[in-house]
């Protein structure tokens, strides 16, 4: 039989310092597996006998054998200073595997795990890579051996005992002598016995509960308000600013639950399972729950703090260069690109011959006059009002001034009053949003850009619709010359022979002449429509590229796993990817191995983050097809992908219930402890 001995490296250092002493081996015995917890001298063993019987946490710890001493049953090991590792005394029919490992520190969220920690999820079934296939094989191995007499490392019980070695070692040492740990424990027990302390603790918990509940109720109310659908659309569906607000409020609303899962994993063992109540998209196994919630919680907090700091920095830069920025936006972007340059291009296509092409004068002048009139009307109605005022900024950085309201009231021109009021209001809103975070300011820029380019979108939709209808009519008329026609009832193209009992069935001469005449007219008018369509298509694509660029910045600021990368640099043992064994040496019937964590690689960390770019929005896949068929180019959004990535609950309104239930159970536990004392 193969016997595995999991030996902590810290206990190996004890052997090296006291190589000639006799030690008692304390640990766990699991059939063919021994997990060494601590090496204790004979004097210390006499002090621990009563403590092990009294302490329920130590009830599974047994005397496994001796080092440098005779043992009738159990392990009998020997060690000398010139040896690097302990050896088996005598000869045995079993094969022994010594597996050395550094005991994981639970306080630092270190542990061994076969299943990799899952930090993000996009929902659905993900593609299995090499590591996941390996874990699947390990689980199958465990299933085959679970009915036999032997244990393996794939068993949860074995991993649990190995992960508790450091904690149990410290607990055992606290009973050996009156060290600092025992004194601190006595001081904490006396403090818990104090009535004043219990009263203050319960009062503090009630205050914290009320504050957190109020914050959650406010977040849920705002989320429900901005997601309320009016005419089959909500504010979140229409505006980027409310979309960003919805995401941030859902994060803040879930923070208390993430903190509870990070602090206490026993909350998952309640009768009302919070996974089912909140409908969380994905969650780790019980071993990885605390660590994944710790990483997700602090990664979100880290990104929010960075977002606010970047927003304040950008606002300072705007304050220092406000006149230059406003002049550039008003003159170059809004004035020239959106109105004057567009007016010149449309006038060039409508009344002149662009690039020497001979277009239809009547059709081009009609369409051009329509677009030019709409452009002038839009500039008068919206463009001149939304121009920013290049006077002194109103906020420095969070100070409000309402002098412009008095000036607006005293002014006689109503247009000037509205323009100044909207301009100053936009300054105040932009300043407040910058202090809420750079993502809110970028979302405000996107909404402002959508309003300012509304006329471009309307022009593009009009030209694409005319081009699309013309292409469809040309396709239908071209089938006329092939002896075919479109079947409306069956949604297919049929031969003309299908509608007649005779084999020689053709269109009439009057039908052919009329169809040919209309086909020729539409072919000659197609270059004129194509000219307007191409110009407005390039304008629309430029807008879409700019919008896509800003939305990519939003995704980077909101979702980049920055804290995970920093944690990998600081302590990669917290990013459990798997375990791996390293061969050390062998002696007679004993093999010496080392056990260590295999942390997540950068590919695993950024895998779902890269997928988020591809799946959260998409317009590239059908871009060429939309151009040929004249279909409108628009971006398709999947908002649920972002929520799944952050593992936010779908039932966000149930967070208050979960938090209150947990706090009530915690109060009951404190009251029961007080009664026992």
- Do residues 452 and 386 make contact, with C-beta atoms less than 8 angstroms apart? yes
Q: Distance (Å, rounded) from C-alpha 312 to C-alpha 307?
A: 9
Q: How many CA atoms lie within 13 A of 78 on its CB side?
A: 8
Q: Supply the range of the domain harboring residue 118.
A: 2-188
Q: Answer whether residue 112 is part of any domain.
A: yes
Picking from 464, 485, 468, 470, the residue whose alpha carbon sits closest to that of residue 521 is 470
**What is the tally of structural domains in the chain?**
1
What does pTM read for this prediction? 0.81
Q: Distance (Å, rounded) from C-alpha 291 to C-alpha 599?
A: 13
Q: Answer whether residue 231 is part of any domain.
A: no
Q: Distance (Å, rounded) from C-alpha 654 to C-alpha 650?
A: 9
Q: Answer whether residue 105 is part of any domain.
A: yes
Q: Answer whether residue 34 is part of any domain.
A: yes
- Do residues 575 and 662 make contact, with C-beta atoms less than 8 angstroms apart? no
Q: Distance (Å, rounded) from C-alpha 297 to C-alpha 288?
A: 14
Q: Answer whether residue 110 is part of any domain.
A: yes
Q: Phi and psi dihedrals of 36, rounded to 5?
A: -80, 130
At 171 the pLDDT is 83
At 222 the pLDDT is 94
Largest CA distance in the chain: 117
Q: Answer whether residue 417 is part of any domain.
A: no
Positive/negative CA dihedral, 603, 606, 607, 611: negative
Q: Answer whether residue 169 is part of any domain.
A: yes
Q: Answer whether residue 148 is part of any domain.
A: yes
Ranges of the chain whose pLDDT falls below 70: 71-73, 123-149, 177-198, 264-273, 275, 281-287, 383-419, 488, 496-507, 619-621, 666-677
Q: Distance (Å, rounded) from C-alpha 576 to C-alpha 601?
A: 10
Give one DSSP letter per residue of 252-298, joined into a string.
HHHHHHHHHHHH-GGGGGSSS-HHHHHTBS----GGGHHHHHHHHHH
Q: Which tokens belong to 147?
A: 């009915």
Picking from 344, 336, 422, 424, the residue whose alpha carbon sits closest to that of residue 385 is 422
């Amino acid at each position: 039989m193969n016997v595995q001995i999991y030996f902590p490296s810290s206990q190996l250092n004890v052997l090296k310092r006291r190589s000639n002493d006799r030690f008692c081996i304390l640990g766990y015995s699991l059939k063919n597996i021994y997990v060494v917890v601590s090496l204790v001298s004979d004097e210390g063993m006499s002090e621990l006998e009563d403590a092990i019987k009294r302490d329920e946490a130590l009830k599974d710890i047994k005397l496994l054998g001796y080092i440098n001493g005779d043992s009738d049953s159990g392990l009998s090991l020997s060690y000398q200073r010139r040896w690097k590792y302990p050896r088996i005394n005598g000869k045995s029919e079993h094969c022994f595997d010594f597996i050395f490992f550094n005991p994981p520190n639970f306080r630092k969220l270190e542990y061994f795990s076969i299943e990799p920690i899952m930090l993000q999820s996009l929902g659905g079934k993900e593609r299995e890579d090499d590591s996941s296939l390996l874990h699947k094989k390990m689980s199958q191995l465990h299933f085959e051996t679970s009915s036999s007499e032997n244990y393996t490392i794939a068993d949860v019980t074995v991993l649990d005992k190995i992960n508790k070695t450091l904690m149990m070692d410290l607990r055992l040492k606290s009973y050996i002598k009156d060290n600092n740990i025992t004194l601190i424990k006595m001081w904490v027990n006396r403090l818990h016995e104090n009535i004043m302390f219990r009263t203050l603790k319960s009062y503090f918990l009630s205050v914290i509960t009320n504050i957190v509940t109020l914050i959650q109720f406010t977040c849920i109310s705002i989320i429900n308000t901005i997601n309320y659908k009016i005419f089959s659309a909500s504010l979140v569906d229409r505006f980027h600013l409310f979309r960003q607000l919805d995401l941030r409020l859902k994060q803040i609303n879930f923070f208390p639950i993430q903190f509870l899962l990070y602090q206490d994993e026993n909350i998952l063992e309640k009768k009302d399972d919070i996974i089912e109540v909140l409908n969380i998209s994905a969650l780790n196994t019980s071993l990885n729950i605390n660590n994944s919630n710790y990483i997700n919680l602090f990664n979100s907090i880290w990104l929010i703090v960075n977002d606010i700091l970047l927003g304040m920095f950008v606002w300072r830069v705007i304050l220092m260069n406000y006149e230059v920025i406003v002049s550039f936006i008003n003159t170059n972007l809004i004035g020239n690109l959106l109105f004057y340059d567009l007016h010149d291009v449309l006038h060039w296509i409508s009344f002149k011959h662009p690039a020497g092409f001979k277009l239809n004068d009547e059709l081009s002048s009609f369409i051009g006059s329509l677009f030019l009139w709409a452009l002038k009307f839009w500039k008068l109605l919206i463009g001149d009002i939304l121009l920013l005022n290049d006077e002194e900024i109103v906020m420095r950085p969070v100070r409000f001034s309402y002098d412009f309201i008095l000036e607006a009231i005293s002014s006689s021109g109503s247009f000037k009053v509205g323009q100044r009021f909207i301009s100053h209001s936009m300054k105040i809103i932009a300043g407040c949003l910058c202090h809420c975070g750079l993502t809110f300011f970028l979302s405000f820029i996107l909404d402002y850009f959508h309003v300012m380019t509304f006329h471009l979108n309307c022009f593009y939709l009009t030209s694409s619709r005319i081009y699309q209808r013309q292409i469809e009519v040309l396709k239908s008329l071209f089938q006329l010359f092939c002896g075919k026609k479109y079947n409306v009832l069956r949604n297919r193209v049929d031969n003309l022979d299908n509608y007649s009992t005779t084999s020689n069935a053709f269109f009439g001469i009057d039908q052919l002449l009329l169809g040919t005449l209309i086909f020729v007219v539409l072919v000659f008018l197609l270059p004129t429509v194509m000219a307007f369509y191409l110009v407005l298509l390039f304008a629309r694509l430029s807008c879409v590229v700019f919008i896509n660029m800003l939305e990519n910045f939003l995704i980077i600021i909101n979702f980049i796993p920055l804290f995970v990368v920093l944690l990998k640099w600081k302590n990669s043992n917290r990013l459990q990817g798997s375990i791996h064994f390293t061969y050390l040496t062998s002696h007679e019937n004993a093999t010496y191995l080392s056990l260590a964590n295999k942390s997540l690689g950068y590919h695993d960390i950024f895998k779902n983050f890269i997928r988020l770019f591809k799946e959260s929005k998409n317009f590239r896949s059908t871009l060429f097809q939309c151009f040929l068929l004249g279909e409108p180019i628009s971006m398709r959004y999947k908002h649920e992908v972002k929520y799944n990535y952050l593992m936010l609950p779908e039932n966000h309104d149930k967070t208050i219930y979960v938090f209150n239930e947990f706090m009530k159970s915690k109060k009951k536990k404190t009251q029961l402890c007080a009664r026992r004392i």
